Amino acid sequence: MRFAGVSKRYGDFVAVHTLDIDVEAGEFLSFLGPSGSGKTTTLMMLAGFETPSSGDIFVGDTRITDMPPARRNIGMVFQSYALFPHMTVEQNVGFPLRMRGMAKAERARAVGRVLEIVGLKGLNHRFPRQLSGGQQQRVALARAIVFEPPVLLMDEPLSALDKYLRSHLQGEIKRIQRELGITVIYVTHDQDEAMTMSDRICVMNEGRICQIDAPETLYRKPNDVFVAGFLGESNMLAAQDARFEGGSLSVSLAGDTVALPVKRAPASEIVVSVRPEHLSVSAAADGTACITDVTYVGDHRRYEVLLADGRKLAVKSQIVDDSAPIGPGEKVKVAWPTHQMRVFSDGATLQ
């Protein structure tokens, strides 16, 4: 599947800027981004419910840009289950097959098989109102995969469900995707969901792709300041007195001079990001930083640290022995983890 120069405008407003994405067959790709970042619009163009303002979409070698939705052979699941209320589970799931003119007996076999896959065996004659939210979403999933589409689109399919059911169904969807070997394009604004389910995540902001990468790469090596802030927690620090010399950028952070390995010279404004779990603090009488708060969180302690220049840092400290916490008011030194810090200039990485 491929987006080639695809964009979408509504009048003067650009909802999706030019997208170029290659999705491998069998891949689980998620679009992750805040509300209004263009995720649904992108999915709707793929499904055929929106027409791109420019560019083309391919499934395999077939150009589907102008093909009507019903002919695209793509399964879809939405946040609201959109089941037919007057039809039973069996009739709902069999609907796409009936539309395709499949004979009744063959249809019953296919429906039976797919209900078993999604864990709804025996509920054939129930109506949607007689099912829980999780069961209804399984029916929607069964209906989307019953005609064996090579591509399945899901737009926030679990966001109406409670946390336990959501994580259970995340596992189920992954299992079904692997069993059937289908390509899944998944939309979510929930970073944990995207991280646990995806082969790759496409992070979107304001209609643009910020970065497409495997979850671990996105977390460890964000290329973009938005990704660094959106995925997991990061301390973001504007850096002063930057000096670029021999592949290294030395910056001043609250009185400490820190040398960071970089690939190019910065343009202007420099922001450094550092994860709370990569920082450490140690009590020191001559320390220039100070603990302002400490919270016990089971496997780690969370410190709030006030730097000499008035900025604050969050620090996560793993608890590996029974050592006492550093108390509020104590002076500390901060150890800067130079190899795990990211540095951005005008929003883009220098690394």
Ligand X SMILES: Nc1ncnc2c1ncn2[C@@H]1O[C@H](COP(=O)(O)OP(=O)(O)O)[C@@H](O)[C@H]1O
Q: Is 191 near ligand X (CB under 6 A)?
A: no
Interface residue with ligand X among 38, 48, 94, 276 (CB under 6 A) is 38
Residues 87-146 that bind Mg ion (CB under 5 A): none
| φ/ψ (deg, to 5) at 195 | -65, -45
According to DSSP, residue 288 is labeled: S
DSSP string, 41-105: HHHHHHHTSS--SEEEEEETTEE-TTS-GGGS-EEEE-SS----TTS-HHHHHHHHHHHTT--HH
How far apart, in whole angstroms, are the C-alpha atoms of residue 260 and residue 351? Answer: 9
| Shortest distance in whole angstroms from residue 47 CB to Mg ion | 13
Q: Which does 15 bind (CB under 5 to 8 A by kind): ligand X, Mg ion, none?
A: ligand X
Q: Is 40 near ligand X (CB under 6 A)?
A: yes
Q: Which does 36 bind (CB under 5 to 8 A by kind): ligand X, Mg ion, none?
A: ligand X
Local structure of 130: helix, strand or coil: helix
Closer Cβ to ligand X, 192 or 241, answer by number: 192
Q: Is 12 near ligand X (CB under 6 A)?
A: no
Local structure of 225: helix, strand or coil: helix
How far apart, in whole angstroms, are the C-alpha atoms of residue 209 and residue 281? Answer: 36
Q: How many residues bind ligand X (CB under 6 A)?
A: 11
| Shortest distance in whole angstroms from residue 188 CB to ligand X | 10
Q: Is 318 near ligand X (CB under 6 A)?
A: no
Q: Which residue reads 């163009």 in tokens?
A: 45
Q: Is 84 near ligand X (CB under 6 A)?
A: no
Cα Rg of the chain, angstroms: 25
Label residue 244 exposed, middle or buried (CB < 10 Å: 0-12, 13-18, 19+): middle
Of 37-45, 52-60, 79-87, 170-178: span binding Mg ion (CB under 5 A): 37-45
| Shortest distance in whole angstroms from residue 16 CB to ligand X | 7
Q: Which residue reads 């599947």 in tokens?
A: 1
Of 38-46, 56-64, 249-257, 306-314: span binding ligand X (CB under 6 A): 38-46
Interface residue with Mg ion among 7, 30, 40, 92 (CB under 5 A) is 40
Of the candidates 7, 34, 33, the residue with the CA atom closest to the CA atom of residue 20: 7
Closer Cβ to Mg ion, 39 or 138, answer by number: 39
Closer Cβ to ligand X, 10 or 84, answer by number: 10
Closer Cβ to ligand X, 77 or 102, answer by number: 77
Q: Which residue reads 């150890």 in tokens?
A: 335
Q: Is 37 near Mg ion (CB under 5 A)?
A: no
State the CB neighbour count (10 A cutoff) for residue 6. Answer: 22
| Shortest distance in whole angstroms from residue 13 CB to ligand X | 6
- Given the rule CB under 5 A, which residues bind Mg ion? 40
- By CB under 6 A, name the binding residues for ligand X: 10, 13, 15, 33, 35-41
